[in-house]
Structure 1
Amino acid sequence: MKVIGAGFGRTGTASLKAALEMLGYGPCYHMSTVIAQPYRVRQWLDVGEGRSRDWEEVFDGFPAAVDWPAAAYWRELAEHYPGAKVVLTVRDPDRWYDSVSETVFESALAERRPMPLHRRITRRLVAWRAPDFALYPRMARATVMDRVFDGRIDDRAHVLAVFERHVAEVKAAIPPDRLLVFDVRQGWGPLCAFLALPVPEAPFPQVNERAAFRRKRPRRRLRLILLGR
């Protein structure tokens, strides 16, 4: 592991993932990796529920990791990979909250509501066809919703306080020469300087994270699994 992303999901992590891969740090681990490869759900469930933290197995073949669930374990990863640099993606807190509440949190809150019959049937079919992926909601709770936000993802003031405390804690824990506090709107300059790499000729990638989430969201993945894709 050469680069650890400590920024919360929806802080430009998809753009950072694309940028790191363009710079040669690919493949870069991201929550989309977990969704695309359901066996990884069980790996993270073991981490979240305290059964195993074999980081070498989890990140085998990945020189970089950003987004949740990895970002929820930034402190452990920074200790385990002392030679890795840390990138803390940041964003205006209120705009971040609006984004995360309409994507990640919306899906998590939906799991708490009474489940209509068609969804119960779908869930049972997925559990039969892809038992690892059926554990995704439980994994997300264990590694992100409960671990990071104490399950209070519907409390805006609490979530924003967690966000701001997280930024302060990363800044305090990681030495300045090992840490880049990065807003993806800054583009290539700060990132390339931090990694001691030349600036690419191509524009800095701008991935619409809400659109990317809707394309890869767990519910859509459930439907694809049922279709055998």
Structure 2
Amino acid sequence: MGQSPSTPQPGTKLRVIGAGLSRTGTASFSAALAILLNGPVYHGGTQTTTGPPDNITTWMKVMRLILNDNAPDRQQALTLIDRQLDGYAAITDAPGTQLVPELMEVYPDAKVICTVRDPIAWEKSMTHLEGLVRSSWFLRVVTLPIPGIRHFMDFLALVALQWRRIYGRRGGPSGAYHKHIEWLKEVVPEEKLMFFDIRDGWEPLCKALGMEVPKDTPFPRDNDSEAITRTVRWHVRRGLIRWVGIFAVVAAMSFGVYMLRR
């Protein structure tokens, strides 16, 4: 989250499903995959917060259809997923991390790779992320004039419902990490699933994908935390600027009406 959004390349086939939870190095992982697969990677956090507005609304529709838990709606959701990811070489981060069975159904030949980190460090990182969105009423108001991102809080609410569907009612940060690993082992065939720590660099990732280690190319190290903070601040500034513009227009119109009535 917070990097630059990727642009799909026609004809590119999705080869990797990133199943690692947010805050497990998904930004660095995405950058590494873009190098190895020579194609754009759909990093959910980045695409939904800085990409075209329909990114958020499309995933919201997908999640609602899946939560309905019936065959026709599920099939419609799979069609939307395929359309949304057309032209991407991989998908990482939320909401895809809670849609792994659906993604495997759409892309049966894709490798499923789950990024991992120390669970305690992950929980602390998630607590930091929750702190950024804790004032939901403020973010709802300030982002209201911004297409797409105005739906972000509702998008997060649907992601939370997906968490409950998979991890149970107590699927918060304190228990979700281990439950996610267990869930992946249940829904993904062993031969298709890999767990990867970005601290290990190129070798294990390249081995899993059957590729050579890139020469003279260091493994990407993107700071997710700093990127998220920058993105939140950017949207707050955008929202405040638009609100200033709205108030200025309203004030000018009100003044014009007042002068006409004098």
TM-score by length of 2: 0.73
- Structure 1 regions of 5+ residues with no counterpart? none
Identity across aligned pairs (percent)? 32
Task: Tell me which residue corresponds to 1:4.
Answer: 17
Q: Which moved more, 1:46-55 or 1:1-10?
A: 46-55
Distance (Å, rounded) in 2 between the aligned partners of 1:178 and 1:141: 30
Listed one character per residue, the Cα deviations across residues 135-159 of structure 1 (whole Å, up to 9, x for unaligned) are 11101210x2222157x9xx8x842
1:73 aligns with 2:93: no
State whether residues 25 and 64 of structure 1, in contact with CA within 8 Å, keep that contact through their aligned partners in structure 2.
no
1:191 aligns with 2:205: yes
- Structure 2 regions of 5+ residues with no counterpart? 1-13, 66-72, 243-262
1:125 aligns with 2:145: yes
Listed one character per residue, the Cα deviations across residues 69-108 of structure 1 (whole Å, up to 9, x for unaligned) are 11111121112211000001111111001111102x2234
**What's the Cα RMSD here?**
2.3
The one of 64, 69, 89 equivalent to 2:90 is 64
1:141 aligns with 2:157: yes
State whether residues 32 and 216 of structure 1, in contact with CA within 8 Å, keep that contact through their aligned partners in structure 2.
no
Moved over 6 A (4+): none
1:43 aligns with 2:62: no
**Structure 1 residue 49: deviation in Å?**
1.9
Kindly report which structure 2 residues correspond to 1:1-229, keeping only aligned pairs within 5 A, or say none: 1-30=14-43, 31-37=45-51, 38-50=53-65, 52-53=76-77, 54-103=80-129, 105-111=130-136, 115=138, 122-126=142-146, 130=147, 132-142=148-158, 144-149=159-164, 158-201=172-215, 202-217=217-232, 220-224=234-238, 227=241
Q: Which moved more, 1:70-79 or 1:82-91?
A: 70-79
Distance (Å, rounded) in 1 between the aligned partners of 2:206 and 2:213: 6
Distance (Å, rounded) in 2 between the aligned partners of 1:61 and 1:5: 16
Listed one character per residue, the Cα deviations across residues 146-202 of structure 1 (whole Å, up to 9, x for unaligned) are 22157x9xx8x8423221011012123322321111111111011000111110121
Aligned to 2:17, the other structure's residue is in SS state: strand
Distance (Å, rounded) in 2 between the aligned partners of 1:124 and 1:39: 15
**Cα gap change, 1:122 to 1:160, in 2 (>3 Å):** closer
Name the count of aligned residue pairs.
212
State whether residues 56 and 152 of structure 2, in contact with CA within 8 Å, keep that contact through their aligned partners in structure 1.
yes
1:12 partner amino acid = G
Which has the larger Rg?
A: 2
1:213 partner amino acid = I
Aligned to 1:49, the other structure's residue is in SS state: helix
Aligned to 2:108, the other structure's residue is in SS state: coil
TM-score by length of 1: 0.83
Distance (Å, rounded) in 1 between the aligned partners of 2:155 and 2:209: 32
